[in-house]
């Protein structure tokens, strides 16, 4: 039988979030504060409340060890606190300055994700307190976030009902309209489910996919309406990779030019992925923009290496923003990365004889 143990009524305004560690309870509120309580007797800790935010605090979460607490606020910051003495360890400002709605630690405490009202999502190094990667969603505020148990993936949910899955390098793996109304919470199962999901995609190499695997892939790309047509024409993985604009129009009778273009674009992305999987190219040898092996790598002012031609095109079209962080580049000077070029050459000599 459920019974009330204790009622806490210390905040001066609405409580937005609460979080548990193994020994503490944390709460945050519109009153700009975070309060810490002992789970043994629900007394408030001597160094509580924690005061630093200048506007409402929307979310708080403990690191897996419970030694650090993160809080995020309308003031555009995410603050890390030492739970033992209440001292702030770091104040991390969202690059856009937008109100931060959600924050979450990775399972190994090395990273922290913060999501903001303008749709920007930042992956922070939780040990150096430095920005690692930055991305964004098209519509809505980010209001929910969760890491997979192994920390290799995380998912964000927006006020427009969109779910977006990211890897630990901030690459968008999947995005879909999951709910008609806004998402308020999301989480991963601690155990794998027995039924295959859209993220599983059955086999590692697309050329080995069955017709059903192709159907799963189509749905994951937002091409659900084409499942019937592809099944009717017995399109498996090998045939999918060999489709052309002519076969889409003449054989599959897809009339919409825009739809054919989208399918071809997705297939081309899949071909690039197949090429990478089959070659075993180290990720650091691939250009972050094209995802292809770099021939003339250069270092940009954001500290990352890119294929020279791809980065030059990016700068001319994207107005000096970093492909990896979305921040404005301090400089458009591109410096040849001769060390990386030599490493790629050595790898090619070893693996492509």
DSSP calls for 188-230: --SS--SSPPTTT-SSSSGGG--HHHHHHHHHHTT-GGGHHHH
**Contact by Cβ (8 Å): 24, 66:** yes
**Residue that finishes a domain, picked among 250, 278, 306:** 278
Nearest to 156 by CA among 127, 117, 99: 117
Give the model's pLDDT for residue 192. Answer: 53
Number of domains in the chain: 3
Predicted TM-score (pTM) of the model is 0.56
Same domain, 30 and 94: yes
Residues 287 and 270 in one domain: no
Q: In 10 A of CB 331, how many CB atoms?
A: 10
Same domain flag for 120 and 213:
no
Residues spanned by the domain of 116: 15-177
Are 159 and 22 contained in the same domain? yes
Single out the residue of 10, 126, 111, 12 nearest to residue 25, CA to CA.
10
Q: What is the pLDDT of residue 270?
A: 82
Does residue 20 sit in the same domain as residue 167?
yes
Distances (CA, A) of 56 to 105, 124, 144, 248: 20, 22, 17, 53
Q: What is the pLDDT of residues 259-298, one digit of tens each?
A: 999 999 999 888 876 665 555 677 788 888 887 789 999 9
* 119 and 104 fall within a common domain: yes
Whether 193 has a pLDDT exceeding 70, the answer reads no
Same domain? 107 vs 214: no
| Structure confidence by residue, pLDDT tens digits, 113-133 | 999 999 899 999 998 999 998
Integer Cα distance of 168 and 143 in angstroms: 19
User: Is 302 contained in some domain?
Assistant: yes
Cα–Cα distance between 197 and 200 in angstroms, integer?
A: 5
Supply the CATH number for residue 225's domain. Answer: 1.10.150.50
Q: What is the CA radius of gyration of the chain?
A: 24
């Amino acid at each position: 039988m459920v019974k009330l143990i204790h009622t806490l009524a210390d905040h001066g305004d609405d409580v937005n979030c609460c979080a548990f560690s193994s020994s503490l309870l944390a709460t945050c509120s519109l009153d700009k504060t975070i309060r810490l309580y002992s789970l043994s007797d629900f007394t408030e800790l001597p160094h509580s409340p924690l005061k630093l935010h200048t506007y409402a605090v929307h979310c708080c979460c403990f690191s897996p060890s419970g030694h650090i607490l993160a809080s995020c606020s309308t003031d555009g910051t995410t603050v890390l606190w030492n739970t033992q003495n209440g001292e702030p360890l770091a104040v991390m400002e969202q690059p856009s300055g937008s109100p931060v709605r959600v924050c979450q630690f990775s399972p190994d405490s090395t990273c922290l994700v913060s999501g903001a009202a303008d749709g920007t999502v930042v992956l922070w190094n939780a040990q150096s307190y430095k920005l690692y990667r930055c991305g964004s969603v098209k519509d809505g505020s980010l209001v929910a976030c969760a890491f997979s148990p192994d920390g290799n993936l995380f998912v964000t949910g927006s006020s427009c009902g969109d779910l977006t899955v990211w890897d630990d390098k901030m690459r968008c793996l999947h995005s879909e309209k999951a709910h008609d109304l806004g998402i308020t919470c999301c989480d991963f199962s601690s155990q794998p489910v027995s039924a295959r999901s859209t993220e599983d995609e059955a086999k590692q190499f697309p050329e080995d996919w069955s017709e059903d695997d192709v159907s799963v892939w189509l749905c994951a790309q937002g091409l659900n309406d084409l499942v019937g047509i592809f099944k009717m024409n017995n399109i498996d993985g090998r045939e999918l990779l060999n489709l052309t604009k002519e076969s889409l129009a003449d054989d599959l009778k897809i009339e919409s030019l825009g739809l054919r273009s989208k399918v071809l674009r997705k297939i081309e992305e899949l071909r690039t992925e197949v090429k990478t999987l089959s070659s075993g190219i180290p990720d650091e040898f691939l250009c972050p923009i094209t995802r292809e092996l770099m021939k003339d790598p250069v270092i940009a002012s954001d500290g990352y290496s890119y294929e020279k031609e791809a980065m030059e095109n990016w700068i001319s079209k994207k107005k000096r923003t970093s492909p990896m962080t979305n921040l404005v580049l301090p400089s458009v000077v591109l410096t040849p990365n001769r060390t990386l070029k030599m490493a790629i050459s050595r790898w090619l000599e070893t693996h492509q004889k």
